[in-house]
Amino acid sequence: MNVVRSGAGNSGTESGDNGSKIIAHAPCRMDLAGGTMDIWPLYLFHPGAVTVNVAVSVMTRCRITRIAGKKIRLMSLDTGRHEEFSGLAALNAAKKYQHPLAAYLVRFFAPQGGFELETNSESPAGAGISGSSALMIAATAALARLTGRELTLEKTREIAQNVEAQLIKVPTGCQDYYPALYGGVSAIHLRPDGIHHEVVRVNADELDRRFVLAYTGAPRKSGINNWEVFKAHINGDKKIFRNFERIGEIAQAMHSAVAAADWKNVAKLLREEWKLRKTNAPKITTPLIEKLIKAATKNGALAAKVCGAGGGGCVLFFTEPDRREKVADAIRAQGGEVLPAKVARQGLTIAGN
């Protein structure tokens, strides 16, 4: 059983060890196939539902430092937001937060001593590569250690996902948390008896040579896009249902193709899923996204798709290794920001007491 273990003697010592630190890191992800179906209960209507994704070396971090007294300081380095509370009661009584992700998790774990919680994310704002979900995993693990709780990886995922749903006020999918926990390439099987994570064995170096991850510079709103599709599905939209049936078939085929290192088929399936996604939600794409895809394709990209729910954020480009740099240059020439991303070989890490 995989467990996020707290340090020995941690429980009951939250107000002591002033200045001691806990540091947790978790990677972001890019999704290959099956997204949105991971929102309960959509996958229950599509037997065999699976999502396939890749953890990428765009990292999130949570650092907790114990301080004397009962004060709680929350800081986000990447957004520049910070706030301070006299203690847990004051934080719980607040109506609004500058750093809501941290505040909601602190409310859940209810640590009793004083501490400073600092977060940082390498993911651009609204990138669609699950930066918030990865940070939820890192912060959940760090706060669990602070409060002396031992959590399995699955329980860590459950808490992070449920608290994020409270935060964004729409249903959350489960797939984004697994790359942050495990790293590498994952297949998440969505069944009536629960969610099952599978490590997909693949040559990470080979995969590194075949993808380019680019940021469009425009944040997306995944909760809104996914929520519209979710409602249409639940309301019985037959077109959406048929599209999800096909997306489910593509995701199953993607699982097999990635596991077999059948890169030609991976590219074909990426193209097909992207086409279906655009018919599900036209706002998933933008003129800039289409411009980047057109330029990349002219320079050798085999396929492209938006990460996450789209409407901005990041785009994954798949290419032959010998065309990768040319594709990256073409994206930059059209105003895209190529991220220095590789497959993250490791998932959640945590150190300190």
Across 306-318, average pLDDT: 84
> Which of 153-157, 275-279, 333-337 has the least mean pLDDT?
275-279
Sorted by where each starts, the structural domains of the chain and their CATH numbers stand as 3-200+344-352 (3.30.230.10), 204-338 (3.30.70.890)
Across 248-256, average pLDDT: 97
Q: Which residues pair with 188 in a beta bridge?
A: 51, 197
Tell the burial category of 120 from Cβ atoms under 10 Å away from its Cβ (0-12, 13-18, 19+).
middle
Q: What is the pLDDT of residue 282?
A: 67
Tell whether the model's pLDDT for residue 158 goes beyond 70. yes
> Which of 246-255, 281-290, 301-310 has the least mean pLDDT?
281-290
Tell whether the model's pLDDT for residue 77 goes beyond 80. yes
Q: What is the pLDDT of residue 79?
A: 93
Buried b (16+ CB within 10 A) or exposed e, 130-145: bbbbbbbbbbbbbbbb
Q: What is the pLDDT of residue 225?
A: 64
Q: What is the pLDDT of residue 10?
A: 35
Q: What is the pLDDT of residue 13?
A: 37
Tell whether the model's pLDDT for residue 14 goes beyond 90. no
